[in-house]
Amino acid sequence: MPTSDSTPATATPADLTAAPDADEEMPPQRVELHIPWLTFIKVAAVLLGAYAVYVLWSLLLLVFLALFLAVTLSSFVDWLDKKGLRHWASLLIVIGGLLTIMGVSMALIVPELVQQVSAFSNNLPQLHEDALNQLPVGNVIRESIQSLLDSASWSEASTWFGHFMSAGGIALGGISQIALLLVIAIYLLIDGRKTFDWSLAFFSPLKRRKLRITANEVSQVIFGYVFGQVITSLLVMVYSFAVLRLLHVPGALMLAILAGIFDILPILGFFIATAPAFLLALSVSPQTAFIVLGLYMLFQLIENYLIVPMIYGKNLRVSTLTVLLGLLAGALLAGIPGALAALPIIASYAAIERIWLKPFLRDGVSEKHELQKDQHFGEKD
């Protein structure tokens, strides 16, 4: 008799073994991760590039500073080209003029500078005593200066200073770095534009156009910064030398050159250059020291509020707070070269924002930033 559909079928042994228990855990599944060989190649290339940057960091910084000089000199070459000279003649005039100025300056300054540095190292203990003897015993200023100066071994000052100079820490090292920087800058001046045009071929027409506009605007910022900085450094050097020489402060030329060099560092450079001038002027008399301090502060005010706006024009347009923070960040990242490069890099951000970042920002952000700069610094030249 046929079995009704409602009657349950009898389970066979095979069915019992095939059916899993509800409480039994499923075995873990095997997960396979496939990484293309191209990914390994990219990671290796990034690591190799990072290692190359680490090894060549000092050279890259030197090339970066040479690029600043080359961009500045290129503006003079372009100006001569517009006057009708052939390009090779313009290059020859600019390069020859630069080398002539450097050679004449070193011939006039280096012998006197070496003499003053030597005299300063030999007379350093006596200058230390003279400076302290000008102040009354128990005076707070004398005690502060005493604790500061006593931290060094003045009896061995001549010895360690002589070793320092003979080792080339400043003399040979500085001259070789300057010479290498000039050589790199000259090569960049001659072949830099050709190299830039060659590299543009790797980009699309739209990006090539943006890169050319960016390069032109950043070049204007760099030229305004470097040319303005050269003028301000020369002015502070001449002013400091005149003040120190008239007041009979020892090492006037050495201190003036230090003031011109440290003037490159905005804000902080003033304090670094003023301290040694004040201490050496104190060896003459306390009145001389405070006159030097007052005249240095006077020039700093004139430079910040009259000379810098006049020479830099309206190209950089960077606030004082931004300059200070950028200077500190650049110094922490790359030392003095980083501090030198901080200001033009920050000033170039406006062009980069307008040309490259504008599509990624909210509507009107870039225009508002430009309007705020125009209101604070005036319309751009």
Q: What DSSP line would sit under 201-233, residue for residue?
A: TTS-HHHHHHHHHHHHHHHHHHHHHHHHHHHHH
Query: Which of the given ranges, 71-85, 114-128, 132-146, has the highest pLDDT on average?
Result: 71-85
**Residue 326 CA from chain centroid, whole number:** 9
Per-residue confidence (pLDDT) for residue 335, from 0 to 100: 75
Per-residue confidence (pLDDT) for residue 28, from 0 to 100: 66
Per-residue confidence (pLDDT) for residue 130, from 0 to 100: 67
Per-residue confidence (pLDDT) for residue 170, from 0 to 100: 44
> How open is the CA angle 83-89-94, to the nearest 5 degrees?
85
Give pLDDT tens digits for 193-220.
Answer: 999 999 999 999 999 999 999 999 999 8
Give pLDDT tens digits for 332-368.
Answer: 887 777 777 888 888 888 889 889 988 888 878 888 8
**At 249, is the pLDDT very low, low, confident or very high (cuts 50, 70, 90)?**
very high
- Higher pLDDT residue, 310 or 73? 73
Report the greatest alpha carbon distance in the chain: 135
Q: Is the pLDDT of residue 16 over 60?
A: no
277 and 259 Cβ atoms separated by less than 8 Å:
yes
- Terminal alpha carbon distance of the chain: 109
Give pLDDT tens digits for 43-69.
Answer: 999 999 999 989 998 888 888 889 999
- Tally: H helices and E strands in the chain: 15, 0
Q: Which residue has the tokens 């050495």?
A: 254
Q: Which amino acid, residue 33?
A: L
Per-residue confidence (pLDDT) for residue 18, from 0 to 100: 52
Q: Using CA atoms, how far apart are residues 64 and 117, in angstroms rounded to an integer?
A: 31
Per-residue confidence (pLDDT) for residue 304, from 0 to 100: 82
- Other Cβ atoms less than 10 A from the Cβ of 272: the count is 14
Lowest mean pLDDT among 12-21, 59-68, 123-132: 12-21
The whole-number average pLDDT for the span 140-151 is 63
Query: Which of the given ranges, 5-19, 78-92, 133-147, has the highest pLDDT on average?
Result: 78-92
* Residue partners of 261: CB distance under 8 A and separation at least 6: 233
- pTM, entire model: 0.74
* Residue partners of 360: CB distance under 8 A and separation at least 6: none
Rounded to 5 degrees, φ, ψ at 35 are: -110, 120
Per-residue confidence (pLDDT) for residue 179, from 0 to 100: 85
Rounded to 5 degrees, φ, ψ at 94 are: -65, -45
Provide the residue ranges of all domains of the chain, joining segments of one domain with +.
56-145+164-347
**At 374, is the pLDDT very low, low, confident or very high (cuts 50, 70, 90)?**
confident
Q: Exposed/middle/buried for 236, CB within 10 Å: 0-12, 13-18, 19+?
A: buried
The conformation of residue 285, written as its DSSP 8-state character, comes to -
Per-residue confidence (pLDDT) for residue 162, from 0 to 100: 45
Per-residue confidence (pLDDT) for residue 136, from 0 to 100: 65
270 and 300 Cβ atoms separated by less than 8 Å:
yes
The whole-number average pLDDT for the span 311-321 is 72
Q: What is the mean pLDDT of the chain?
A: 80
The whole-number average pLDDT for the span 136-157 is 58
Give pLDDT tens digits for 159-189.
Answer: 434 443 443 344 445 577 788 889 999 999 9
Lowest mean pLDDT among 69-78, 313-322, 354-363: 313-322
Q: What share of the chain is helix, strand, coil (3-state, %, to 5)?
A: 80, 0, 20
Q: Which amino acid, residue 66?
A: A
